[in-house]
Amino acid sequence: MDDAQRRRRTTRRLWLAAVVLAVLLAGLIVPPMISIGRYKARITELMSESLGRPVHLSSVELRLLPRPEFVLTNLTVEGDPAYGAEPVLYANTVTAAIELLPLWQGRLVISSISVDEASLNLVRTQEGRWNLDSLFRTAAAHSKIQGQNAVRPLPYLEATNSRVNIMNGLEKLPFSLVDADLSFWQSNPGEWRVRLRGQPARTDVSLDLADTGVVELEASMRRAPELSEMPIQVDMEWKEAQLGQLSRLIVGSDPGWRGDLTADLHVQGTVKAAKVTARLRATGVHRAEFAPVSPLDFDVNCSLVYHYAGRTVNDLACDSPLGDGQMRLAGDLPGGAPPRLTLALQGIPVQAGLDLLRTLRGGIDEDLEARGTVSGELKYDVAAGTTPAAPMAAKGKAGHAGRRKHAQAVEDAAPNPLSGSLVVQRFVLRGGALRQPIQIPRITLEPAAATPGLSQALTTEVALPAGAASPLSATLRLELAGYDAGLQGPAALARLREWASVAGLGNAAALSGLSGDAAILNLNAQGPWLPAPEAIFPIRAVGGVKGTAPAPPDAARDRLSGTMEFHDVKWSSGVLASDLEVSQATLTLGGNMLVWDPVAFTYGPVEGTASLQVPMGCEEDAPCPPRLEVHFGELDAGRLEASLLGARKPNTLLSTLLAQLTSSKSTVWPQVDGVVKADSLALGPFTLRNVTATLQVQPAKADLNGFDAEWLGGQLEGSGTVTKGDKPGYALQGSFAKLSPQAVCSVLGVRCKGGAVSGDGKLEFSGFSSKDLSATAKGTLHFDWRRGKVALSAGDGIPAALGRFDRWTGEASIANGTVTLQQNQVRRGSHVAPVEATITFGKPPKVAFTPVPPVKTAKR
């Protein structure tokens, strides 16, 4: 027994050794005997027949160990010209496993083809055909084995670490699958299997591929007389996808959503008609800036029957729980015809709608809470469209006329395919900036009348108390793409501030500076569901807040338009020492501009009117500051100074303003461009008329350009700069022309006449009070007076040379509160004499002359 077992064991070892030796000998002897060039052409021909497309190879190498296989270099499978010039498949290295026994018989049979780091292009035409159609058609046509020399038309295909590109016609889309593993084989004659696993990617944006999820697909297909009748079964799962990266993948940007998403898809039937079931699950859904107590999670299950030829969907049914309620969407989507859909809601919490809106959009207060439920049913069916019903008309002749008019309107109205209604019961919105909740017992959303050019919508109108004597009329229109809301009527300013903050309007806090009577609103807001509102109230912008961020295109942004009227209100600003009283102001919103016009205001003893234009959506590198125009009637600089600075006593408005204007504690000045006009401006003993000045206010200084005024019977032009510091500094330069000598001398208490006076000068000073301004004033003055005469009287000290002269020119310096005449000449004929004089600032100014001997010039 033991001897027999030992002999059998020895025999098996000898046979195994012989086989190993034979394989080694074959590996050494057979390859040189095989014509690789002959098989290169055969491999190329075989793969071309199997794939139905021309195949090109650079080189072929035979390798028998560890298994017989060909190593192909630079494999290219050409694409169908109908789908473009890009190849279907390209790979640097391809391994084709062969069956050894047929090879000894002179036949080449490829059992599998393996590629690594390949590039596969999937092309879809506008007609909906894919470039892989020809592959399936070729495989179906060659599925039967014909004769003993026939080969398997489609060997086992597998690709690892590859990339799948998606093209739309000739355009290569940025979407692709990377790190893809793909297998394609025949499990049985006439039955094909596909397995795919990869990570979705996008080439034109930066993505964290670990968060785009993993797509896994298992599919099977069986042979059929027609490709459209080929039985198919597809199971696909997209798992571990993070909503932020998924959004960047799909739309190219991150709207700020967070959460995990998993999608399952099952398709069974034929290419012609398939039953589809899908499930979409999301957990931990929230916005990036906050994590709510109850994330907006959902679990949607859908089923439908899809018909490829007509691109139709039948028996659509989607169900999803939402909070304590349930929603269901059912119907049909006929290809090329209007859909037939029914949406049923049962007890859907209003809070779920608020959470959805807050998740989709930013800027909505996370502390807001909503109560109430939504129930009802909506149907969309063009064939079953209804026309508006005629209401009961009044009795008498007017009633008959009304009925005829309405009957004609009903006859002309198009049938409305949307029917049904949604009812919101016991709506309450509280929390956030709302000191008092918004409560509406019942809101009914009904289909709007069919209007050419407008989408189907649900509308409602409710009376909304807003703290005024009568409620606001609020209208709301909801469409699939967006919303349209309107407010008409009075609203208390306190309530308006709360609502602006709740709605997420930019710079809504600026309304806190307003107090007084209710505002009259006539506003309309509309926009898509996804982007956040960017409407900005301009009051705070005038107070020094930075400009707005760049706005998105008009097609993808919210638009707030209309007017807001204010009467008898006060505006508190951090720049002015006291409140600005506004008797009337109208704010107009629309387009890319907010306009305050007109604004009638009073600031202490100063009255005026103003208009303000605030551009919206300015680029950061191209700022566009607000445009301000102010017009005063009679303006007194002293009264204006008192209004701006307040009482000149410690611990009053003046000390507060001084603290704000110091460089260490003050806020920056608002950036404003504007024009200031005044019918008259009193500057101590001088009065300027028809004053116009152009301002450019920057964070640390203000430029005064284009100053123009009528002064002392002539014209005054100039420019200047006001700089910020512990005390404001002023630098002015200008010129004057055609001044009346009578007017000039009357200020100095002297009687004069003669020709016009002209000149120019520069002046710098700083401070707040008249004393500071006079003490710090320094500069130069040049003047020219022709054919003049100063009235002389005994004891007045006026030099005799000024009694009558042909021309008086000179320079003067300004310092230490005085104007001192320097080099000057009083010329009469050939006689020239200098004049020495000083003018001391005061009310009125004081002039002192010093007699000097005349100087006779050389004869001409």
Instruction: Reply yes or no on whether the pLDDT at 561 is more than 80.
Output: yes
Instruction: Reply yes or no on whether the pLDDT at 841 is more than 90.
Output: no
Side-chain half-sphere of 629: how many Cα atoms within 13 Å? Answer: 7
Question: How confident is the model over 226-261, as pLDDT tens digits?
Answer: 777 889 999 999 988 888 887 777 777 777 778 888
Question: How confident is the model over 159-168, as pLDDT tens digits?
Answer: 889 888 888 8
Q: Where are the alpha helices (DSSP H) in 322-374?
A: 350-360
Instruction: Reply yes or no on whether the pLDDT at 563 is more than 70.
Output: yes
The closest of 713, 766, 721 to 738, measured between CA atoms, is: 713
Instruction: Reply yes or no on whether the pLDDT at 388 is more than 60.
Output: no
Average pLDDT of the residues in 681-692: 82
Cα–Cα distance measured from residue 205 to residue 221, given in angstroms and rounded to the nearest whole number: 36
pLDDT of residue 648: 40
Average pLDDT of the residues in 291-309: 82
Question: How confident is the model over 566-613, as pLDDT tens digits?
Answer: 999 988 876 666 788 899 999 888 777 888 888 998 887 788 999 988
Cα–Cα distance measured from residue 705 to residue 311, given in angstroms and rounded to the nearest whole number: 68
pLDDT of residue 41: 75
Residue bearing the bigger pLDDT, 575 or 776: 776
Instruction: Reply yes or no on whether the pLDDT at 708 is more than 80.
Output: yes
Instruction: Reply yes or no on whether the pLDDT at 728 is more than 60.
Output: yes
Residue bearing the bigger pLDDT, 45 or 716: 716
Instruction: Reply yes or no on whether the pLDDT at 14 is more than 90.
Output: no
Instruction: Reply yes or no on whether the pLDDT at 367 is more than 90.
Output: no
Question: How confident is the model over 174-214, as pLDDT tens digits?
Answer: 888 888 898 888 777 778 888 999 988 888 777 777 788 89
Residue bearing the bigger pLDDT, 160 or 135: 160
Q: State how far the alpha carbon of 656 is from the alpha carbons of 198, 544, 581, in Å.
A: 67, 18, 20
pLDDT of residue 241: 85
Query: Of 34-48, 129-143, 283-297, 725-739, which range is least confident?
Result: 129-143
Task: Indicate the helix (H) or strand (E) that contains 639.
Answer: helix 637-645
Q: 528-542, 770-784, 807-821 — which one is most confidently predicted on average?
A: 807-821
Cα–Cα distance measured from residue 532 to residue 559, given in angstroms and rounded to the nearest whole number: 11
Residue 145 confidence class, pLDDT cut points 50, 70, 90? very low
Task: Indicate the helix (H) or strand (E) that contains 379.
Answer: strand 369-380
The packing angle between helices 133-141 and 36-51, to 10°, is: 110
Question: How confident is the model over 804-836, as pLDDT tens digits?
Answer: 999 999 999 999 888 999 999 999 988 998 988
The packing angle between helices 637-645 and 653-661, to 10°, is: 80
Query: Of 136-140, 378-382, 423-427, which range is least confident?
Result: 136-140
pLDDT of residue 159: 86
- Arithmetic mean of pLDDT over the chain: 78
Instruction: Reply yes or no on whether the pLDDT at 547 is more than 50.
Output: no
Question: How confident is the model over 510-519, as pLDDT tens digits?
Answer: 567 788 888 9
Residue 497 confidence class, pLDDT cut points 50, 70, 90? confident
Residue 798 confidence class, pLDDT cut points 50, 70, 90? confident
- Domain boundaries defined on the chain: 36-204, 740-856
pLDDT of residue 477: 93
